[in-house]
């Protein structure tokens, strides 16, 4: 038989933020830079797709504890290419972080980039799919299913 609560009591003292252990409350916010599948040619080098531009605001990094670039791709039609999925700083023309697919599909996650993002407030960021080593197979392609910047906020 399940237990039944017959009495309850709420203390007279309210819980304050100082009463919580640091980062007791965490919220993960996904920023979808590529939310649809896109097939790119991998038989030549260069940026094949640019997606999801947004301005990184101070509010987005105020309680930032962790941040990761995540990407998912299907297996390529040829396995001799290297494709980087990048978080790109359009304002300064620089790659913030990237994950690489070298002849394989699957899911990839970058290292924690929270400290780097905190220095980029006010900058315009986007996702990019960049073929850095071309396949020798003419017509080779790879399909990318998603690119997500995951922000983990710690509140307390």
Question: Above 80 in pLDDT, residue 17?
Answer: no
- Arch. (CATH architecture) of 34-155: Sandwich (2.60)
Q: What is the pLDDT of residue 18?
A: 67
- Identify the band that residue 52 occupies on the pLDDT scale cut at 50, 70 and 90: confident
Question: Above 70 in pLDDT, residue 27?
Answer: yes
For the chain, helix, strand, coil in percent to 5 are 10, 50, 40
Could you read off the pLDDT of 90-133 as tens digits, one per residue? 999 999 999 999 999 999 999 999 999 999 999 999 999 999 99
């Amino acid at each position: 038989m399940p237990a039944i609560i017959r009495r309850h009591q709420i203390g007279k003292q309210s819980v304050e933020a100082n009463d919580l252990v640091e980062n007791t409350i965490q919220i993960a916010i996904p920023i979808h830079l590529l939310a649809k599948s896109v097939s790119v040619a991998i038989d030549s080098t260069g940026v094949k797709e640019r997606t999801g531009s947004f301005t990184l605001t101070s509010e987005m990094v105020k309680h930032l504890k962790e941040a990761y670039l995540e990407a998912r791709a299907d297996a390529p039609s040829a396995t001799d290419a290297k494709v980087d999925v990048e978080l790109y700083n359009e304002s300064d023309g620089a790659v913030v972080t990237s994950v690489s697919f070298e002849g394989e599909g699957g899911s990839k996650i970058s290292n924690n980039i929270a400290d780097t993002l905190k220095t980029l407030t006010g900058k315009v960021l986007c996702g990019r799919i960049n073929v850095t080593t071309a396949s020798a197979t003419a017509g080779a392609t790879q399909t990318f299913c998603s690119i997500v910047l995951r922000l983990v906020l710690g509140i307390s």
